[in-house]
Structure 1
Amino acid sequence: IAQYQEVKVSSFEEFIQAVEEHNGKTIFAYFTGSKDAEGKSWCLDCAQAEPVIGEGLKHISEGCVFIYCQVGEKPYWKDPNNDFRKKLKVTAVPTLLKYRTPQKLVESECFQASLVEMLFSED
């Protein structure tokens, strides 16, 4: 299993901080609806994508960083002015992306193991 680092964050500020801490490394970021106390996300697509992303992580290159980012509660997420939408151009959850590249998978693309695997394993 490749040695990658996983960072869990639950706000835009924490996300930016994590990116700065791992500057110079290949960063993958997964944006998902926040979970409640029982570990259930308000975003059903996110719940469906999660096991696929988990499997895909087996293909991530050594030394990469995987940031698991909960975007907040549904009302915050739906606000068109939230920082994820405005500053990162993340307009849907789940979104899996390779930071600072155009490569990203959005919504149902995150259910497709082959696409997830490709995103994680491409150089």
Structure 2
Amino acid sequence: MAAYTEMCVCGFEEFNQAVKQHEGKPIFVFFVGSLDAEGKSWCPLCVKAEPVIREGLKHTGKECVFIYCQIGDKPSWRDPNNDFRRKLSVMSLPTLQKYGTPRKLVDSECQQANLVQMFFGED
């Protein structure tokens, strides 16, 4: 089984800290709507994609970092000045991205097991 490090962060500042902490390693980021008190995202596509992403993680290389990034509540996500939108060009949820590259899967692509497996297995 692949050996990867997983981090769960909330918000843009925690995300930046996690990236700095793992500089030089391949970093995969799963951007999702923040979780409620029951641990469920307000974003229905994020909820559907998560099990597919988790299964796909079995295909990552060693020393990879997986960041589960909660971007905020629905009103803050819809704000055009949201840091994830402005600074990282994350325009839809869910988004799976290889940090520092243009590689990403968005929306329903994150629910397609074959795409997710290829995405993680390309390194």
TM bracket, shorter-chain basis: over 0.9
1:21 aligned partner, one-letter code:
Q
Equivalent in the alignment of 2:27: 27
What displacement does 1:40 show?
1.6
User: Which secondary structure state, in structure 2, belongs to the residue aligned with residue 100 of structure 1?
Assistant: coil
In the TM superposition, what whole-angstrom CA distance separates every residue of 1:60-108 from its partner, at most 9, and x where no partner exists? Answer: 1110000000011000000010100000000111000001111000000
Moved >2 Å (runs of 4+): none
What displacement does 1:121 show?
0.8
Equivalent in the alignment of 1:92: 92
Q: TM-score scaled by structure 1? A: 0.98
Counterpart-to-counterpart distance in 2, 1:52 and 1:116: 7
Contiguous gaps of at least 5 residues in structure 1:
none
Equivalent in the alignment of 2:115: 115
1:60 maps to 2:44: no
Q: TM-score scaled by structure 2? A: 0.98
Equivalent in the alignment of 2:11: 11
Equivalent in the alignment of 1:44: 44
Counterpart-to-counterpart distance in 2, 1:41 and 1:7: 17
User: Which secondary structure state, in structure 1, belongs to the residue aligned with residue 96 of structure 2?
Assistant: strand
User: Which secondary structure state, in structure 1, belongs to the residue aligned with residue 30 of structure 2?
Assistant: strand
Equivalent in the alignment of 1:77: 77
User: Which secondary structure state, in structure 2, belongs to the residue aligned with residue 50 of structure 1?
Assistant: helix
Counterpart-to-counterpart distance in 2, 1:57 and 1:81: 31
Q: Percent identity?
A: 65
Contiguous gaps of at least 5 residues in structure 2:
none
What displacement does 1:3 show?
0.7
User: Which secondary structure state, in structure 1, belongs to the residue aligned with residue 69 of structure 2?
Assistant: strand
Instruction: Let me know the Cα RMSD of the aligned residues.
Output: 0.5
